[in-house]
Amino acid sequence: MQEMDLMYQKLGISREVLAFGNKIEAELKERFAEIDENAEYNQMKVIHAMQENKVSEACLYTSTGYGYNDLGRDTLEAVYASTFHTESALVRPLLACGTHALAVALMGNLRPGDELLSPVGKPYDTLEEVIGIRPSRGSLAEYGVTYRQVELLEDGSFDYDAIAAAICDKTRLVEIQRSKGYLTRPTFSVKQIGELISFIKGIKPDVICMVDNCYGEFVETIEPSDVGADLVVGSLIKNPGGGLAPIGGYIAGKKEYVDNAAYRLTCPGLGKEVGATLGVNPAFYQGFFLAPTVTAGALKGAVFAANIYERLGFSVSPDSTQSRHDIIQAVTFGTPEGVIEFCKGIQAAAPVDSYVEPEPWAMPGYDSDVIMAAGAFIQGSSIELSADGPIKPPYTVYFQGGLTWYHAKLGILMSLQKILDKKLAELPKEV
């Protein structure tokens, strides 16, 4: 279609790049159909949860002050609980981000003398200070909670023998991170997480199994709470916020453990009873309603990018054919320029701040310069199209999100255009 070519050209995409992208897209028809089917199932799951809990117009009103009897807040928590098939849920704008939600769940459920175990290697960077792996004020370590970690085996699978050996009298809570985050290990499927939980519960039935579900929501038709997780925790500026939630986190699971988290989030005695929603209810509901479709768009973008960059000879993880358990895609360029041009392309395709050129920068908490691209409606939202990469070998960029598939496609084509313009790669001859 000539109009389409011209429209992409206006945005800075050459005819050759578009043709190559379209060819790859055409080859992905079946993959995309699977993603759509999954989204359809999850959409029905969410609508069913909303109907079952009698979501009404009154749920969209706001509360202030103490927030007593906030029908919208309480009903939304019931909707999350129904969707994740849990007894209870805490879904709040007072949860400042994913790290905060994870910290509240840990701190609410661990007591001095307890031990926390990660059977899947190092947890997400920001949790190091929460746990006290890196000494930090107010960490769990300061309160006498000890920590143990079991590394994954060389091939990324669970080291069952070492996990069995690490579980002791003190082990109270096991934290399993579903997504690889910014590590090179594989992301776990919900089924794998279920197998790990069964194994752990077989050794110690009363241990709390908590899953860091960030980036994983709605990627499959089941969630970790469907396979034995006692708590699932995540961020609303990732998948379940559907791009509309302006802030927030969720903790869903067994009532006792969710209540423990609520007593930590607000205070003992008050728990879930207080916490005004300050007008966020409509965005939380509508975002959750859109989340299955938005997540599908982001997944298509990830699969599309894997196929494009693999075809150009770069190493990608997951690869072009692997099944997906989160929305993150890693591409290894092997040169700083590759990472930089990729991020510039993502930024140039954004609806907000497209005219800004990202540059590598020294960031607190990182041991090298980092480049980040994000032109998002919500600050730091990574369900929106975003990318970042540390400027150090092997020069890998991590990217995720895209509120619509079309925007994800534009972003990836723009990154490719920049990389070709700088002669860092060539299109295959056959197109």
Ligand X SMILES: *Cc1c(COP(=O)(O)O)cnc(C)c1O
The least distance separating ligand X from the CB of residue 335, rounded to whole angstroms, comes to: 26
CA-CA distance, 24 to 64, in Å (whole number)? Answer: 51
Assess 398 for contact with ligand X (CB under 6 A). Answer: no
The residue nearest ligand X at its CB is 98
Binding part of the chain for ligand X, among 35-43, 211-219, 287-295, 351-359 by CB under 6 A, reads 211-219
Q: How many residues does the chain have?
A: 431
List the one residue from 21, 67, 72, 98 that touches ligand X (CB under 6 A). 98
Interface stretch with ligand X, choices 91-99, 341-349, 371-379, 401-409 (CB under 6 A): 91-99
What is the closest distance, in whole angstroms, from the C-beta atom of residue 177 to ligand X in the complex?
5
Closer Cβ to ligand X, 59 or 210, answer by number: 210
* Binding-site member from 11, 97, 164, 356 for ligand X (CB under 6 A): 97
The candidate with the shortest Cα–Cα distance to 84, out of 200, 234, 307, 186, is 234
Evaluate whether 369 touches 390 at the Cβ level (below 8 Å): yes
- Work out which of 79, 120, 214, 410 binds ligand X, going by CB under 6 A: 214
Write down the least CB distance from residue 27 to ligand X, Å: 29
- The span from the CA of 35 to the CA of 220, in Å, is 9
Cα separation, 83 vs 226, whole angstroms: 10
Query: Which span sits near ligand X by CB under 6 A: 32-40, 43-51, 212-220, 408-416?
Result: 212-220
Which of 53, 82, 86, 177 is in the footprint of ligand X by CB under 6 A? 177
Name the residue nearer to ligand X (CB basis): 181 or 401. Answer: 181
Nearer to ligand X, 70 or 129 (CB): 129
Q: Which positions from 99 through 138 interact with ligand X, judged by CB under 6 A?
A: 99, 124, 126
Nearer to ligand X, 99 or 171 (CB): 99
The dihedral built from the CA positions of residue 383, 323, 182 and 418, taken in this order, carries a sign that is negative
Q: How far is the CB of 163 from ligand X (least distance, A)?
A: 20
Determine the Cα–Cα distance for residues 242 and 287; give it in Å rounded to an integer.
Answer: 4
**Cα dist. 391→182, 242, 339, 351 in Å?**
14, 30, 8, 26
Token pair recorded at residue 148: 């143990």
CB-wise, 98 or 338, nearer to ligand X? 98
* Rounded Cα–Cα distance for residues 199 and 248 (Å): 32
Distance of CA 270 to the CA centre of its chain: 30
Six token digits for residue 386: 């975003």
CA 257/CA 251 separation, integer angstroms = 9
Specify whether the CB–CB gap between 103 and 126 falls below 8 A.
Answer: no
Q: Shortest distance, CB of residue 176 to ligand X, whole angstroms?
A: 11
Q: Report the nearest approach of ligand X to the CB of residue 132 (Å).
A: 17
CB proximity list for 260: less than 8 A, separation 6 or greater: 108, 109
> Rg of the chain's alpha carbons, rounded to an integer?
22
d(CA 203, CA 221): 28
CB of 127 to ligand X, least distance (A): 7
Q: Which is nearer to ligand X, 177 or 277 (CB)?
A: 177
- Residue closer to ligand X, measured from CB, 21 or 186: 186
* Position 181 contacts ligand X (CB under 6 A): yes
Q: Say if residues 137 and 81 touch (Cβ distance below 8 Å).
A: no
Gap between the Cα atoms of 375 and 397, Å rounded: 17
Strand pairing of 369-374 and 361-362?
Answer: antiparallel
Task: Report, in Å, the least distance between residue 126 CB and ligand X.
Answer: 6
**Count of alpha carbons within 13 angstroms of residue 223, beta-carbon side:** 32
Which one of 80, 84, 158, 215 is in contact with ligand X (CB under 6 A)? 215
Q: What residue type is assigned to position 352 of the chain?
A: V
Contact region for ligand X (CB under 6 A) — 97-105, 168-176, 370-378, 388-396?
Answer: 97-105
- Part in contact with ligand X (CB under 6 A); list of ranges 23-31, 36-44, 45-53, 92-100: 92-100
Report the residue number, 66 or 377, with the smaller CB distance to ligand X: 377
Tell the smallest beta-carbon distance from residue 102 to ligand X (Å).
Answer: 6
Residue carrying the six token digits 């290990």 = 185
Are 147 and 141 in contact by the 8 Å Cβ rule? The answer is yes
Instruction: Indicate the residue among 403 and 413 with the shorter CB distance to ligand X.
Output: 403
Site for ligand X in 230-249 (CB under 6 A): 235
Judge contact between 426 and 358, C-beta under 8 A.
no
Scanning 153-161, 162-170, 210-218, 364-372 for contacts with ligand X by CB under 6 A, the matching segment is: 210-218
Smaller CB separation from ligand X, 183 or 312: 183
Question: Which positions touch ligand X (CB under 6 A)?
Answer: 97-99, 124, 126, 177, 179, 181, 212, 214-215, 235
